[in-house]
Amino acid sequence: MPTATYTVTGMTCAHCVASVREEVSAIPGVTDVDVKLATGRLTLSSATTVSDDDVVAAVDEAGYQAVRS
């Protein structure tokens, strides 16, 4: 099961974390999403390889920025 880690900037509260988690979870193939407010770390697991562009777009849709760590 592939995993990937990203750094998300702009999150300031638990609602931000929930928004990012919701958008990334909606990407086809994603099976688990963990978002840490304190570190800005987003870790996802997936059944198949997920495109970095898809993850960045999902985080952008939530209103934040992400880069692969």
Q: Flag whether the pTM goes above 0.85.
A: yes
Residue-level pLDDT, tens digit, the chain, 69 residues: 799 999 999 999 999 999 999 999 999 999 999 999 999 999 999 999 999 999 999 999 999 999 999
* Domain definitions of the chain by residue range: 3-63
Q: Report the distance separating Cα 26 and Cα 21, nearest Å.
A: 9
Position of tokens 């992400």? 66
Architecture of domain 3-63: 2-Layer Sandwich (3.30)
Q: Report the distance separating Cα 17 and Cα 29, nearest Å.
A: 20
Contacts of 14 (CB under 8 A, 6+ apart): 37
